[in-house]
A and B are shown apart, each in its own frame.
Chain A
Amino acid sequence: DAGITQSPRHKVTETGTPVTLRCHQTENHRYMYWYRQDPGHGLRLIHYSYGVKDTDKGEVSDGYSVSRSKTEDFLLTLESATSSQTSVYFCAIRHSGQQETQYFGPGTRLLVL
């Protein structure tokens, strides 16, 4: 258990509204990641962070932004949600010194109507 929580766990929203998902970790890990998971696509990286205020884009970053103002929190924002962003979102941390091992939060299920 890497002490990762995500909130909310479930959310229903309407197209065009902004949505922010929060990932919180308690073990001071430097690297944090946001993924989305859709059937047939596995896990796709949205954004990642390698330190406070240090973030970079993943393979499916369009329509998403992130912020990391504290080590323990990594926020994912959908500026204007679309139906194609309906998905399950996972936050992960990279455990230093364990050969790229990532530990995942429980996920947020987002439905955009």
Chain B
Amino acid sequence: TQLLEQSPQFLSIQEGENLTVYCNSSSVFSSLQWYRQEPGEGPVLLVTVVTGGEVKKLKRLTFQFGDARKDSSLHITAAQPGDTGLYLCAGAGDSNYQLIWGAGTKLIIKP
């Protein structure tokens, strides 16, 4: 069974600080995605990483896929209150139809 462990589960920091969220597995994934979810809404895709070692940037957010395609990280620089939300990682694994989901990181950025 493929699993994705996401850490930390909860993070509360001040505006302007940097943070990193991790998504780890013992399994190899063909791609890995990061989603953000705001209260009362469904998750929304932020980025997909496909190649081992790949780095993608989305404004102040930097996503990295591990060289072995077993882990990923999300780094936020100078966090803003608008970054508040639930961040979910999801991996495309053995099944072509399903994603393996991490449990999520609840991020609160205080002004």
Contacts and interface: CB of A to CB of B under 8 A. Distances in A.
B is bound to A: yes
Interface of A: 31, 33, 40-45, 48, 50, 56, 58, 90, 92, 94, 98-107
8 contacts: A42-B103, A48-B97, A99-B48, A99-B50, A100-B48, A101-B33, A101-B45, A102-B90
Contacts of B43: 43, 90, 104
B60 to A, nearest CB: 22
A34 to B, nearest CB: 12
Contacts of B48: 98-101
Contacts of B33: 99-101
A51 B40 CA distance: 28
Interface of B: 6, 9, 30-31, 33, 40-45, 48, 50, 88, 90, 92, 96-99, 101-104
Contacts of A105: 42
Given A40-B9, A42-B88, A100 B42 contact: no
